[in-house]
Amino acid sequence: MKIQLALDRLSIEEAIQIAREAEESIDLIEVGTSLIKEFGISSVSKIKEAFPNKTIVRDIKTIDNAVYEFELCFKAGADIATVMGVSPVQTIEACLNTAAKHGRTAMIDLLNTNAEQKDSLFQYNDAIFCDHVSKDEQEMAGKKKSSTAQSLDSSLQWAVAGGITLDSINKMTEPHPDILIIGSAITQSDDPGKAAAAFKKVIDEGRVEYQ
């Protein structure tokens, strides 16, 4: 499993500093939706400039205007951009086609999709699928909720997001996701580098355990 560091509700300078501290233990850097909304396309280009050798994910959550938004993402240096699974099929396919044109990847966010929608989306096997527990669900559900990545289709590429902690990783069943999207457990830590290293250690030990 790879670690995707989600950078949200920060300034660009804070985001770069946290990513720098965690850099050795992470694989992908996500320019979160809040950074995009507050600072625009420059948030992607500045983070890509700071980390040219990392895979940069732009969590733009496209739901319409697909080609325009994905073109912006990839021209700014993003390697992966996100589209909502509840979007019209024309939007999903436009995102996938734009990603393919640039040699990049689309991530389909399954937040609030139903079983029928999921079944129709799983034909797009060039995409990464994100099993996502929303921030509002985490914060307003009465008790903290986190993803435990249940029942993933092992024939597809998977990311999981939403309140991931060291404890929730231990509760994940096989097959494990390809990518763990981790935000506040690292970004709000007193020592982001140490926190990221702890996640990497658990993941690496898990690989050994299941070989």
What pTM value is reported for the model? 0.91
Question: What's the structural domain count of the chain?
Answer: 1
Bridge pairing between strands 80-84 and 105-109: parallel
Confidence at residue 209, expressed as pLDDT on a 0 to 100 scale: 37
Answer for the pair 70, 41: CB distance below 8 angstroms, yes or no.
no
Say how many C-beta atoms besides its own lie within 10 A of residue 74's C-beta.
19
How is residue 21 written in tokens? 């501290």
Report DSSP state, residue 188.
T
Name the β-bridge partners of 199. Answer: none
SS3 57: strand
Tokens of 201: 């250690």
Tell me, what CATH number does 167's domain have? Answer: 3.20.20.70
Nearest to 102 by CA among 153, 67, 139: 67
Angle between helical axes of 42-50 and 12-22 (0-180°, round to 10): 30
DSSP class of residue 124?
A: -
Please give the distance of CA 100 from its chain centroid, rounded to a whole number.
Answer: 19
The C-alpha angle 147, 180, 161, rounded to 5 degrees, equals: 40
What's the domain range around 114?
A: 2-210
Q: What is the pLDDT along the chain (211 residues), one digit of tens a residue?
A: 999 999 999 999 999 999 999 999 999 999 999 999 999 999 999 999 999 999 999 999 999 999 999 999 999 999 999 999 999 999 999 999 999 999 999 999 999 999 999 999 999 999 999 997 855 555 455 445 555 555 688 899 999 999 899 988 888 888 899 999 999 999 999 999 999 999 999 999 874 333 2
